[in-house]
Structure 1
Amino acid sequence: MQEHEKHSLAAITLAAMGVVYGDIGTSPLYTLKECFATAHLPLNHDNVLGILSMIFWAILLVVTVKYVAFILRADNRGEGGIMVLMALARRYLGGPARSRIIVLGLFGAALFYGDAIITPAMSVLSAAEGLEVLNPDLASYVLPMSVSVLLGLFLLQKFGTAHVGKLFGPVMMLWFFAIGLLGLAKIIQVPSVLAAVNPYYSVRFISEHGLAAFLTMGSVVLALTGAEALYADMGHFGRKPIRAAWFGLVLPGLVLNYFGQGALLLSNPDAIDNPFFNLAPKWGLLPLIVLATLATVIASQAVISGAYSLTRQAIQLGYCPRMFIDHTSEREIGQIYLPFVNWALLAAVLIVVMAFRSSANLAAAYGIAVTGTMVITSLLFFVVARVNWRWPLPLAIGVTSLFLSIDMVFFSANILKVTHGGWLPLLIGIIIFTLMLTWKQGRELLVERIREHALPLDSFISNIEEYPPARVQGTAVFLTGTTNGVPHALLHNLKHNKVLHERVVLLTANTEDVPYVDRAERLEVTRLSDSFWRVVARYGFMETPDMNEMLECAEERGLAFEVMDTSFFLSRETLISTDRPGMARWREHLFVWMSRNALRATDFFSIPTNRVVEMGAQVEL
């Protein structure tokens, strides 16, 4: 039994290595080079050790202590990620505090999309730039190679990652072994580089260089890109395998490679043009370029899958319009594909690659999205530690202050790069944040406007049962967003058709602040009268509602359906922007446009199209 558990842990740890650590695993491709390029520092012994020491302690304090030791504890039924942390933090809060938590979480999620655009561009470009080290005459092929790899990556998304994903773990394990051995070989030649483990070199570097050291920190943070993935992917692999992969191979491989690059620069300062690829012997350069390209594709795949998952969470939590979600695996619930998100990301990534043209130009843009999300994660962690875990206030403030002091230094250093490309993730974040907040507030405004004209449900049912209209055979299911008031579709059906089915079911699908809801708790069935029933379905934000499953659960609770004898009635609102108090007119117009382009409820809930009746309604916002 123990051997089986060890085998399972080893397999999951290998898989986690492939998905979770792709981004942070490819950061040695560009980090050290950018640290020296940012502040134009002279390449000497003290500067090499100082920068290496900052990288080492940043990885240790931010990734190992903050994320691996603390943030991974903040799980919501095993799931992690910025939206999960937001759901946890807001669970026991109300009023202004709850609103502030939602705004923080949404902006952190919005910044992630900026990361999802920049990561594939930055990673693939940095791998393709190995061609220049192989032969300077190949420099003109870097851009075409990058575009080709990215096109292939996004075109393959619709087939799912189930089969290709099996290769991710072994490839990344080979990658960490390779970069660790390359670094170790150079450290053996220049062992004095290990002195950078001493934090004294970090402190001295900062005290001697002042502003230049502060600017350099904006590039040191590149070594931490992908740290959020440890938390975001916890639901797929669990806390233990992620920690095992980090301490077992990822951390040693990264540290050895960074120190190996430092040793190379101490012995050959000219290698600063690309210290990562210059670590390899001439015969190993081409295989390393191929391996680096595969690793960056895996890093990109992880962040693309993360964008799919985050979008589904946003849809379920009511911050994003409904979209088509394709489940590409029958066994893995997390294997999903969203065509709109995929093609939007592809277009954005290609524009970024063609506009910036090199990893060096993109480096300034990379840090802001990462550090901004880190700051928000620390703030939300404080709320969870204090409110959910009931930590004493001094302990919660102490731990969070340590995290924030590091996060804010990195974020501040990257803010200085706004004019050099840092505006890109901020712009993406602001646009997506505005869209999500507009959708949420627009839906709330729409519900409020509908309620203004809604009839009380209890009195309506009493009148219907006492003075029944013509009744026809079968069941009518009316989908409604609330459990209060009579659905518009029901009123319109009575008004125009002047009939009512012999059995009427009012169905509401609610999303809870948990990732998954047990099947036993899925449905609540209430009999309102002889012919009226209320059904409330509960789903987690990691789940996609399915009408067939709802009907099966209803049957288990004594409410059986014959699909061919059941009609589904939906309201299709035509929204009109007005001057009434609510939202600004431009946001109302934006909400109307988003509503028109949202996926139809019939497709989202997988309702048989030949059993659907849509009733139009005009609503003034």
Structure 2
Amino acid sequence: MQSTVVFTITTKKETWRHTLLLSFQSLGVIYGRLSTAPLYVFESIEPGDIKSPNEIHELFSFIFWTLTIVPLLKYAFIVLRADDDGEGGPFSLYSLLCRHARVGLIPSNKTSLKIRHHEEDSPTGKLENKARRALENHKISHYLLLVLALLGACMILSDAVLTPAISVLSAASGLGRSLAKISVKFFSSDKTKDHVANLLRKYVPTPAACAILVCLFTLQHHGTKRIGFIFAPIVIIWLFFISGFGLYNIIRHDTQILHAVSPLYMIRFLKKINVRHWKLLSSIVLCIAGSEAMFADLGHFSRKSIKLTFVCFIYPVLLLTYAGQAAFIYKTFDPNDSFHLSESIPDKNLQHVFAVLSLFASAVGSQATITAGFSIINQCRAFDCFPRVNVVHTSEQILGQVYIPDVNWVFMALSLTVTIGLHDISQLGKATGLAITSAMLVTTCLMSLVIALYWEKSLFTSLCFLLFFGSIEALYLSTSLMSFFRGAWCLIILFLLFMTIMAAWHYGTLKKYEFDIENKVSIEWLTDYSPGLGVSRVPGIGFIYSDVEMGIPAFFSHFITNLPAFHQVLIFVSFKSQPVPYIPDNRRYLIGRVGPREYKIYRCILRYGYRDNVRDTDDFEDQIISSIGEFIAREEYDYEAQYSPEGKMIVLGNPLEDGNALIPVAETSSSTSAATVAGSESIRDLLDVPSGSANNPPAKRKRVRFMLPPKSPQMRPSVRQELQEIIDARESGTAYFLGQSHLLARKGSNFFKKFLIMAYVFLDKNSRGPPVALNIPNAALLEVGTVYTL
């Protein structure tokens, strides 16, 4: 049975001052990509593909209506309303579908626990309809939705690699042009002038682009807030610069370009459509490059700030810029020359200023997809679809602002490889166009389901949304596919790389979870011990980490079989991600008792959303012990809980009416974790097991001790005694048990299965993030190896 819980979070109302501040920051993060698209939209068109200047008007008509329909109508007014408590991207839409239709395939979202007390299994509040029943009853639809979400995530990650490459390389080509014009002043021979100019145009862009890319990715550790404040003024200056010259070119060269906003120009273009015209549209789609970041980067800002900035500033400025560039190209049309934005600057000195400014703006333009990539990976990681990586939360106020160091350097390496390998703006443009149209089409498909299942609109409304926006994006997707061998193939390589990582990790996690469920041991096996079996209880607390929410994990039974001893107090701990952005503290811990009271064995399930940062806390152990103390105190008011079978869990977090069951007291002096180390050494000493970490000094950590509250007539003596036993066990020491899995493919398995398992093993060994909470002393950690034959 899949348990679905809906949480209602009350957030502080956003003030206009805060909205304007976020709007300013969003200019340097989200809209840098859209703002620098004029650098390569027309330049990515290969010389000779445009035969007549009248086609410039027709192409501008496509730009106008594409900008109006996709980023303005679709994203700003519709898709942004489907945020998942302030989070965006394809996985946020998938999260909404998982909560409002039972279609989730993530192992950690499935549970058979019966949750009682202080939390209600709230209904979704949505009426049953045919679409929901059809999705829930057909297993194939569950896999299709997950594949669709993974496809959208892979496209955004690929875009995070391609966008810095094409943006910076396009700006660097403008620098090469500018240097070529300056160099001609130092040579008298025309032949020498041409030779030097060609060398500068050919060999300057790639090294300059690589240097800028290294600087860009090095700045990422400063976080979204600081980067936004640094980059926003650059984007503002850039937009006023290019839009000002756009207005100048409209007035001077071709005021008739304003008539091209009529859709009749598009119809005229489509009437004479052929392969050449189809290739032109694959470049025009780049004008909406960065639109997906408006939704994917939603967790870094707010819906109101993103919408306000685009409608009031970005949209009109971009239209003015493209109109001015089209007017200049129409007036100075040369079918054999490329169309670079710098050529539309009338003054040569200002062209040099443009070259420098475009370098800074292109670096800023890459920020949108990089931060979107961080957000997507953070969501995928919580959904068990990406390997463990260290996630740094760069803001205490906005939980969605994250930075992932390892992924940042991977992005940089891939972006440098693409820049050096292709070093051609046209080919990079084809790959980028295919990435953005694919990501948008995925969002359209998922959004149509959200309209039907989450917003409870009619199927007709959902179908209209899918057909209207999907047909436009499918049109552009087909144009990009036609250029597959002219650069778009690069995206397929990136897609296969990211999809292999995600699919292998999800497959390995799913199979490992199923193996744990099949091989778990009943609780009677552990509690039915006797002196005849030779099992000893040693002082201290033992934390056993596993994904199993009922029964005893196989690795711990293997440990007890070979080393028959365990601690006086056992706590089975499981991390369970939920398809929600975050879970409040008073809903986070599920506590239950394993076996009768006298065995002092407990189970704690810690739930978290994809924006929560629960694994990096220093007081994780203290919170669990405090929650168990609250659970013991609450049991005296709940007679059913005293005799409830395993699987009955209580949601804890709200304080008791008469105070806390265990009072934490922080030690004033800094001390080492000697008590923690003692918990593991007690088993080693008893069993004469040598310590592999004996030479490692214990890490310093903040120590919290617990004490009982003053005697109260409301608390029974048996409760006080059990609480005191918890305190005494904590003082005796703490040990942590963790299963170390070794996956092997069964003999006779097909190549695909063997490949996925090999990929999972490689990723697991090289994961930089910890499997459980951080700051566990090495001397207190006991890893138990288990072979999983799949």
With the length of structure 1 as denominator, give the TM-score of the two structures: 0.93
* Structure 1 counterpart of 2:339, one-letter code: N
Amino acid at match of 2:25: A
Do structure 1's residue 34 and structure 2's residue 44 form an aligned pair? Answer: yes
Quote the residue 1:460 is aligned against: 525
Q: Is the 8 A contact 1:34 1:363 kept in 2?
A: yes
Deviation at 1:19, TM superposition (A): 1.1
In 2, Cα distance between equivalents of 1:64 and 1:374: 13
Match of 1:56 among 54, 58, 64: 64
Question: What per-residue deviation string (whole Å, max 9, x for no partner) do you get for residues 449-503 of structure 1?
Answer: 233332113x235414998932111110100112123123432332233222111
Supply the distance in 2 between the matched residues of 1:5 and 1:453 (Cα, whole angstroms). Answer: 54
Taking a change above 3 Å as real, the CA distance of residues 570 and 214 of structure 1, as seen in their structure-2 partners, is same
Tell me the CA shift for residue 179 of structure 1. Answer: 1.7
Matching of residue 236 in structure 1 with residue 300 in structure 2? yes
Q: Is the 8 A contact 1:175 1:295 kept in 2?
A: yes
The residue number in structure 1 matching 2:144 is 100
CA distance in 1, matches of 2:477, 2:324: 27
**Aligned mates of 1:443, 1:9 — CA distance in 2:** 40
The one-letter code of the counterpart of 1:40 is: D
* 1:142 counterpart residue number: 205
Superposition pairs of residues 365-514 of structure 1, within 5 angstroms: 365-457=431-523, 459-464=524-529, 469-514=535-580
Listed one character per residue, the Cα deviations across residues 565-616 of structure 1 (whole Å, up to 9, x for unaligned) are 2211101122222136696222222222222223463676443434311112
Which of 316, 322, 329 is the matching residue for 1:265? 329
Distance of 1:527 and 1:105 partners within structure 2? 38
1:411 deviation in Å? 0.3
State whether structure 2 residue 320 is matched by structure 1 residue 256: yes
Q: Distance in 1 between matches of 2:397 and 2:773?
A: 20
Question: SS at the partner of 1:195?
Answer: helix
Aligned-partner SS, 1:570: strand
Amino acid in structure 2 at the alignment position of 1:442: G
| Residue equivalent to 1:6 | 16
**Separation in 1 of the partners of 2:212 and 2:404?**
20
Shift of 1:405: 0.7
- Write the letter of the residue equivalent to 1:482: V
AA aligned opposite 1:114: S
Residue equivalent to 2:638: none
SS in 1 for 2:566: strand
Aligned to 1:299: 365
Amino acid at match of 1:497: L
Q: Verify the 8 A CA contact 1:147 1:350 in the aligned structure 2.
A: yes
Q: Structure 2: which amino acid aligns with 1:252?
A: P
Mapped partners of 2:271, 2:505: distance in 1: 48
CA shift at 1:277, angstroms? 0.9
2:417 alignment partner, SS class: helix
Q: Is 1:116 the equivalent of 2:160?
A: yes
Summarize deviations over 1:216-255 as a string: whole Å, max 9, x none. Answer: 2111110011110010111222111111101111001110
Residue 572 in 1 paired to residue 740 in 2? yes
1:347-366 alignment runs, 5 A limit: 347-366=413-432
Q: Is the 8 A contact 2:162 2:432 kept in 1?
A: yes
Query: Residues 160-179 of structure 1: matches in 2 within 5 Å?
Result: 160-179=223-242
> What is the CA-CA distance between 1:315 and the residue it aligns to?
1.6
Deviation at 1:212, TM superposition (A): 2.7
AA at the equivalent of 2:608: Y
Partner SS state of residue 78, structure 2: helix
Which of 174, 192, 196 does residue 256 from structure 2 map onto?
192
Aligned equivalents of 1:348, 1:223: Cα separation in 2: 24
* Counterpart contact for 1:523–1:550, Cα < 8 Å: no
The residue aligned with 2:755 is: 586
**Measured at CA, do residues 399 and 159 of structure 1 come closer, stay the same or move farther in structure 2, by a change above 3 Å?**
closer
1:342, distance to aligned residue in structure 2 (A): 2.1
- Report the 3-state secondary structure (helix = DSSP H, G, I; strand = E; otherwise coil) of the residue aligned with 2:520: coil
2:618 counterpart of 1:548 = yes
SS in structure 2 opposite 1:616? strand
**CA distance, structure 1, for counterparts of residue 411 and residue 300 of structure 2:** 23
Q: Post-superposition shift, 1:435?
A: 2.3
1:522–1:553 contact (8 Å) kept in structure 2:
no
Render the CA deviation track for 1:187-235: whole Å, top value 9, x for unaligned.
1223211111111111112212433332221111100111100101112
Q: CA deviation at 1:184?
A: 0.9
* Matches of 1:9 and 1:322, distance apart in 2: 34
Q: Is the 8 A contact 1:39 1:215 kept in 2?
A: no
Offset from partner CA, 1:237-288 (integer Å, 9 cap, x none): 2111111101111001110000000111122224963341122222222222
- Helix, strand or coil at the partner of 1:65: helix
Match of 1:20 in 2: 30
Q: Kindly state the Cα deviation for residue 297 of structure 1 after the two structures are TM-superposed.
A: 1.1
Which deviates further from its counterpart, 538-547 or 225-234? 538-547
CA distance 1:481–1:241, shift in 2 (3 Å): same
The 3-state SS of whatever aligns with 1:439 is helix
Q: Which residue does the alignment assign to 2:341?
A: 276
> What is the rounded CA distance, in whole Å, between the counterparts of 2:587 and 2:92 in structure 1?
20
The 8 Å contact of residues 54 and 220 in structure 1, kept in 2 or not, is answered as yes
Which whole-Å CA distance do the structure 1 matches of 2:779 and 2:89 have between them?
A: 39
| Structure 1 position 613 matched with structure 2 position 622 | no
Structure 1 residue 505 displacement after superposition: 0.4
CA spacing shift, 1:99–1:575, aligned 2, 3 Å: same
Q: Cα deviation per residue 1:56-109 (whole Å; 9 max; x = unaligned)? A: 101111111111111111111111111111222333133222211001110111
Aligned partner of residue 612 in structure 2, secondary structure: coil
Equivalent-residue separation in structure 2 for 1:233 and 1:295 (angstroms) = 19
Q: CA deviation at 1:329?
A: 4.9
- The answer (yes or no) to whether the contact 1:602–1:609 under 8 Å persists in 2 is no
Kindly provide the amino acid, as one letter, of the partner of residue 84 in structure 2: N
Cα distance in 1 for residues equivalent to 2:164 and 2:304: 28
| Residues 371 and 282 (structure 1), Cα distance of their counterparts in 2 relative to 1, 3 Å cut | same
* Structure 1 stretch displaced more, 348-357 or 592-601: 592-601
Which has the higher mean CA deviation after the structures are superposed, 76-85 or 540-549?
Answer: 540-549
Separation in 2, partners of 1:14, 1:445 = 46
Is the partner of 1:569 in helix, strand or coil? Answer: strand
Structure 1 residue matching 2:436: 3-state secondary structure: helix
CA contact (8 A) 2:427 2:488 kept: no
- Which amino acid is 1:277 matched to? S
- Mean Cα displacement is larger for which, 82-91 or 70-79? 82-91
1:320 is aligned to 2:408: no
Change (3 A) 1:150 1:419: same
Deviation at 1:619, TM superposition (A): 1.9
Query: Number of paired residues?
Result: 616
Q: Which has the larger radius of gyration?
A: 2
Instruction: Give me the whole-angstrom Cα distance separating, in 2, the residues matched to 1:5 and 1:602.
Output: 39
C-alpha displacement at 1:326, in angstroms? Answer: 3.5
Asked if the contact 2:29–2:227 (Cα under 8 Å) also holds between the matched residues in 1, the reply is: no
Q: Which of 391, 404, 408 is residue 338 of structure 1 equivalent to?
A: 404
Residue equivalent to 2:636: none
User: Is 1:65 aligned with 2:73?
Assistant: yes
- How far does residue 159 in structure 1 lie from its aligned partner after superposition? 4.7
Matched position secondary structure for 1:502:
strand
Q: Which runs of 5+ in 2 are unaligned?
A: 1-13, 104-135, 181-196, 630-661, 663-726
CA distance in 2, matches of 1:497, 1:15: 57
Identify the range of structure 1 (148-157 vs 233-242) with the bigger mean alpha-carbon deviation. Answer: 148-157
The TM-score normalised by the length of structure 2 is 0.74
One-letter amino acid of the structure 1 residue matched with residue 55 of structure 2: N
C-alpha change, 1:324 and 1:7, in structure 2 (3 Å) is closer
